Copies of this chain bind each other. A is one copy, B any other.
Amino acid sequence: MRRHHHRCQIGSDSETGSESDSDTDTPMRCISCREEYLPRNAGTCKECYVEAGETEEELKREIDDLKAKVAFLRLSSSLDHGTSSTSRSFTDVVLIASEDNAGSPPIPAHKSVLVSRSPVFKAMLENEMEESLSGTIKISDVSYDALRTFVYYLYTAEACLDEQMACDLLVMSEKYQVKHLKSYCERFLVTKLSPDNSLMTYAFAHQHNAKHVLDAALSQIVENMDKLTKREEYMELVEKDPRLIVEIYEAYLSKQVNTAAGGTSTSKTS
């Protein structure tokens, strides 16, 4: 495949501008969107544009290959088929949600899968601990639904999340060290951040060591700092964990200082 030696990068406006000062300002038409533009605003020559299109095609092909690989590697868990065919899927362990042990059924699984996905399950099952001998793993402080979703994720790398489920799974993924699931939940929670839930999310992220959520929640809070002290959760957090509130004020102060510095340099150049 033909390829330029350079990689495409956006050059600075001023540079391009100065070199095309002698151009007339007759409008031209973009070959992709058909909109008119002045020569001085031109983006790329045709060669670079074609190259970018080829790169896009290649990347899309790679994505298709990877998707097929994921579909191949995804295992069918006992949950794919309901409980009836469980006996046929060669499971050798069951998981039980301790929170509602009254009625919900045990969830069958394969030791080999649990061991592949989680170093905690690995230690538990490979070292003749109680769980390995009995073939039963009790998971504490979790609902049947959350456990079911957790096990399903271990087989398929897929989960249908809402905010509650994302929090539940984040806690489990932290406990059983399933990194891939933890980062999946973190990304979901970041998309759900709002000024209204940012303080609670921040506290939750702190408790469960979720760095990305923590950072995102903190910026959200700092941006809406004026309303901070009026919030109920604020009062609660001051009572319960004042250090967290201190961190918020530190982040706010640091932003104020940076903005002031940035503002000064802008006014100098203009």
Query: Once bound together, how far apart are the Cα atoms of A254 and B199, in whole Å?
Result: 71
The answer to whether B68 and A70 have CB atoms under 8 Å apart is: no
- A7-22 vs B, CB cutoff 8 Å, 1 = contact: the mask equals 0111100001001101
Given A48-B32, A63-B62, A67-B66, A23 contacting B43 (CB threshold 8 A): no
Query: Once bound together, how far apart are the Cα atoms of A19 and B24, in whole Å?
Result: 15
CB-nearest residue of chain B to A30: B45
A62 CB contacts on chain B under 8 angstroms: 63
Nearest CB on B from A5, distance (A): 9
Binds B, one of A85-93, A213-221, A232-240: A85-93
CB-nearest residue of chain B to A19: B29
Nearest CB on B from A181, distance (A): 8
The answer to whether A73 and B70 have CB atoms under 8 Å apart is: yes
CB-nearest residue of chain B to A71: B180
A75 CB within 8 Å of chain B: yes
Partner of A92 from B66, B90, B116 at Cβ < 8 Å: B90
The answer to whether B29 and A88 have CB atoms under 8 Å apart is: no
Binds B, one of A51-59, A142-150, A190-198, A204-212: A51-59
A23 CB contacts on chain B under 8 angstroms: 24, 26, 28, 39
Taking A30-B48, A69-B157, A72-B157 as given, write out 10 further A-B residue pairs in contact, using a Cβ cutoff of 8 Å, ordered by the A residue number.
A11-B32, A31-B42, A35-B47, A37-B46, A42-B42, A43-B48, A59-B59, A72-B117, A75-B112, A90-B115
Q: What are 28 residue pairs bridging A and B, where the CB atoms are less than 8 Å apart in the complex?
A: A8-B33, A8-B53, A10-B53, A16-B29, A19-B29, A20-B26, A23-B24, A28-B42, A31-B44, A33-B47, A35-B45, A42-B45, A44-B44, A56-B56, A59-B60, A59-B63, A63-B66, A69-B70, A70-B70, A71-B180, A72-B157, A73-B75, A75-B116, A88-B126, A89-B112, A90-B111, A110-B110, A110-B112
Residues of A within 8 A of B (CB): 4, 6, 8-11, 16, 19-20, 22-24, 26, 28-35, 37, 39, 41-50, 52-53, 55-56, 59-60, 62-63, 66-76, 88-92, 110-113, 115-117, 125-126, 156-157, 180, 183
